[in-house]
Amino acid sequence: MIVGIDLGTSNSLVAFINREGKAEIIINERGSRLTPSVVYFKNEQEVMVGELARSQLILKADRTISSIKRQMGTNYQVEIGERGYTPPEISGLILRKLLQYAQEYLEQEITAAVVTVPAYFNDNQRQATLLAGEMAGIKILKLLNEPTAAALAYGVNREKKENILVLDIGGGTFDITLMEYQDEVCQVLCIGGSSQLGGLDFDKQLVKHILETFKMSNGIDLSADPIALQQIHINAEKAKVDLSSVNECSVLVPYITMGTQGPVHLNQTLRREEFNHICSYLFKEISELIEQTFTRAGVSKEWVEAVVLAGGASRMPGFKDLVKQLFPGVELRVEINPDEVVALGAALEGGMLSGELSHIETHDVTGHTLGVEDNQGEFVSLIPANTPYPISESRLFTTVNDFQEEVIIHILQQDELGDAGEGINVSLGKFHLENIQKAKAGEPSIDVTFTIDENGILNVSALDIETGTQKEIQITETGYVDGNKIPARRGRDLIIL
Ligand code: AMP
């Protein structure tokens, strides 16, 4: 049995293919389908995952970790007591818990899974997810892009050709995917979105508003009180969720602080219109990201025949209204619970890999332009964004100095152009190719090959054609050149041939 896992920012789910050949969500020990992606370290030996951990967020904030998905692929470490934990370690604990649920429910050992990742996840983030699987003791057979999983959940048994737009907005990420579904082939054309925009940003905006309103009416600033802040955060999220089904709700936290006259309560009323107004810049950002993706894909919005919504935050009426406004008259597919659609799609992929279900081909595309840095510090592209993968591309380079003994190959990812028109380069790693042909500048031929496998993982190899010296790496080093997290050293002495 190969299970499907949606390892989400806020919640995670595990699903499998039942006897009828249908994808089904596994219920956890508390009878819930969603397991909060929260980990609480009670002590060195005792770790809790899920709802029990989430209830520690207020009083044991220093030992409780949430939203770790946002840190995947970075050098971030969480310090708990004496020890630092990496994002893959924390995600590994969540995965292990989900596996435990699956094994108990299915009464069999589970050793393999399909795990979903945002389409926009880069190489570092994908590597970190694979590492989390290793730490949980599970073989991740496929990293499936979340929007592709959502399309699979809707698309199985659909015969007719369709142009689909998948909008997947979860706790921390927003993925936009344009795809064509025809003859059992799901072909992604273009992806866009942001790995730093999701439901959490709406919560933060609401927290800011609640703090300001509280300060205005009580003259007390709660922003430096971690326990009060955590309570406001939890209640802000609840209010946001409530406002998806009612027009007005209240945010109530009794005894939130002590004033000069005694205990002070937080009691505010929020209306949906007010929420939409407070978060208007986020809706604007969503709209701009969608427009940008269509511009990049070179198709008009009329191309879309159906919109599939996924991710818990797609339930916000403001989000649905925006989609209807951008795509008037287009069918909105919302029949499958948006919290579950990705996990269900992952289980279907698992069923296809194990041979239980007939195969549907999925072809994904790269989310970022990948290349190397030349001797001038300029970005040289090898694989442009939105290239279907698996793929392999090579380019020849040479030296700039006479009798150079090595070249440093600095692998970069170039993200969307910023407002000023500049590309944002992210360092994915670098390696040295030593013992190259000792010759005059411009004579050696160095072949650099980028290969992206079916999981979206990048492998880079370099070959000095004359001496046969070759080196191959899977990128593991992380850091940002422009953010200067790691020193921005030049891809020294390397120019394009
Ligand atoms: P996911 O990562 O797909 O589990 O989505 C989690 C995000 O969806 C969180 O930010 C939740 O607060 C948000 N969410 C879940 N249900 C709703 C709802 N009914 N209305 C608005 N946001 C929701």
Please report, rounded to a whole number, the percentage of residues in the chain having pLDDT higher than 90.
73
- The helix or strand, by DSSP H or E, that contains position 167, with its residue range, turns out to be strand 162-169
Confidence (pLDDT) at 445: 92
Task: Return the active site residues.
Answer: 6, 69, 146, 168
Does pTM surpass 0.95?
no
Using the mean position of ligand 1's atoms as its centre, give its distance from the Cα of residue 198 in Å: 9
Tokens (6 digits) for 106: 């299915």
CB 448 within 8 Å of CB 397? yes
pLDDT at 470: 86
Q: Which of 106-110, 179-183, 239-243, 486-490 has the lowest mean pLDDT?
A: 486-490
| Domain segments of the chain as ranges | 2-197+282-363, 199-275, 369-496
Report residue 488's pLDDT band, with 50, 70 and 90 as the boundaries. Answer: very low
Helices 226-242 and 199-218 meet at what angle, rounded to 10?
120
For residues 399-425, give the mean pLDDT: 79
Give pLDDT tens digits for 269-304. 999 999 999 999 999 999 999 999 999 999 999 999
Average pLDDT over residues 341-367: 93
What is the structure's pLDDT at 455? 93
Provide the b/e sequence for 222-247 (b: ≥16 CB within 10 Å). Answer: beeeeebbebbbbbbbebbbbbbeee
Query: What spacing in Å lies between the alpha carbon of 380 and ligand 1's midpoint?
Result: 39
**Second CATH level (architecture) for the domain 2-197+282-363:** 2-Layer Sandwich (3.30)
288: Cβ contacts below 8 Å, ≥ 6 apart: none
What does R_g of the chain's alpha carbons equal in angstroms? Answer: 24
% of the chain surpassing 70 pLDDT = 93
**Under the phi-then-psi rule, with left for phi > 0, alpha for psi from -120 to 50, and beta for the rest, what region is 41?**
beta
60-98 pLDDT per residue, tens: 989 999 999 999 998 899 999 888 999 999 999 999 999
* Structure token digits, residue 389: 């993968």
Buried b (16+ CB within 10 A) or exposed e, 261-275: eeebebebebebeeb
3-class state of residue 284 by DSSP:
helix
Ligand 1 atom 18: residue of nearest CA:
241
199 lines ligand 1 (CB under 6 A): yes
Domain 199-275: give its CATH superfamily: ATPase, substrate binding domain, subdomain 4 (3.90.640.10)
Q: What confidence tens digit (pLDDT) does each residue in 9-27 have?
A: 999 999 999 999 999 999 9
Q: Is the pLDDT at 362 greater than 50, yes or no?
A: yes
Coil, helix or strand for 375?
coil
The pLDDT value given to residue 160: 80
Q: Quote the tokens at residue 463.
A: 């070959």
Residue range 415-423: average pLDDT?
60
Q: Whose Cα sits closest to atom 1 in ligand 1? A: 170
Query: What's the burial of 429, exposed, middle or buried (CB within 10 Å: 0-12/13-18/19+)?
Result: buried
Does the beta carbon of 8 lie inside 6 Å of ligand 1?
yes
Sheet arrangement for strand 379-383: 379-383, 369-373, 406-417, 423-434
Query: What is the average pLDDT value for the chain, to the nearest integer?
Result: 90
Give the per-residue SS3 of 312-364.
HHHHCHHHHHHHHHHCCCCEEECCCCCCCHHHHHHHHHHHHHCCCCCCCEEEE
CATH among 2.60.34.10, 2.70.170.10, 3.30.460.80, 3.50.50.60 for 369-496 = 2.60.34.10
What three-state secondary structure class fits 147? helix
Please determine, for residue 477, whether its predicted confidence score (pLDDT) is greater than 50: no
Pairing between strand 78-80 and 64-65? unpaired
242 C-beta closer than 6 A to ligand 1: no
Contact 9, 37 (CB under 8 A): yes
Of the two residues 452 and 183, the one the predictor is more confident about is: 452
Answer for the pair 181, 164: CB distance below 8 angstroms, yes or no: yes
Residue with tokens 């511009």: 295
DSSP secondary structure code for residue 485 in this structure: S
Indicate the helix (H) or strand (E) that contains 9: none
Query: How many CA atoms lie less than 13 Å away from 270 in the CB half-sphere?
Result: 30
> Does the Cβ of 175 fall within 6 Å of ligand 1?
no
Collapsing DSSP states into helix, strand and coil, what is residue 153? Answer: helix
150 lines ligand 1 (CB under 6 A): no
pLDDT tens figures, 210-264:
999 999 999 999 999 999 999 999 999 999 999 999 999 999 999 999 999 999 9
d(CA 416, CA 180): 24
Task: Assess contact for 120 and 36: CB atoms under 8 A.
Answer: no
Confidence of residue 485 (pLDDT cuts 50, 70, 90): very low
Asked if residue 279 lies in contact with residue 205, where contact means CB atoms within 8 angstroms, the answer is yes
